[in-house]
Structure 1
């Protein structure tokens, strides 16, 4: 019973990261607003592209681990990947974003990663 839940949560998180990465690559201004810190219209779009590429790459890595590796390896990936949304929480708070976005999106995602890691280690 635990295995489908563990893998289901891990797959959902990986798919969300892939979608977020694609959104930053395809619609960077809208994605930045959804992130919690809107980008300046005349700002440097390279940074938004970097964020999109980073997230998309982490999503591909997670998908590869899910497809070709062990639950233990996916657990380590989720544990390490939790650093990103924890950092995003602090970034949103430091740069004028709302607490609702910081905690409701980014911190919640970090907790999801940590729960996923615990489940994958238990499988």
Structure 2
């Protein structure tokens, strides 16, 4: 294996993990936040909006890495 193959594989795995975390914040925000040690009050509208924005940001970051790899 060459160094570039290892680097692309690691970058792809990291990008997939970031996308997974972002998706988790959109689909199951309470579980995702608890994974980080935070117990948000999802009854407040601002908390739900924050979780969705965080999820979208993480997904976009992962996609950006994949775009750069291409």
Higher relative contact order (CA 8 A, sep 6+): 2
RMSD: 1.2
Q: Does 1:66 pair with 2:63?
A: no
Residue matched to 1:7: 8
Runs of 4+ aligned residues of structure 1 deviating over 6 Å after TM superposition are none
User: 1:37 aligned to 2:30?
Assistant: no
TM-score calculated relative to the size of structure 1: 0.51
Query: How far did residue 16 of structure 1 move?
Result: 0.3
How far residue 60 of structure 1 moved from its aligned partner, in angstroms, is 1.0
Shift of 1:5: 1.1
Alignment partners' CA distance in 2, 1:9 and 1:23: 21
Q: Structure 1: state its 5+ residue gaps.
A: 68-123
Deviation at 1:23, TM superposition (A): 0.6
Question: Which residue is 2:17 aligned to?
Answer: 16
What is aligned with 1:86?
none
Matched pairs, number: 67
> After alignment, is 49-58 or 35-44 more displaced?
35-44
CA distance in 2, matches of 1:53, 1:21: 6
**TM-score normalised over the length of structure 2:** 0.85
Query: Which residue of structure 1 aligns with residue 59 of structure 2?
Result: 56
Unmatched segments (≥5 aa) in structure 2? none
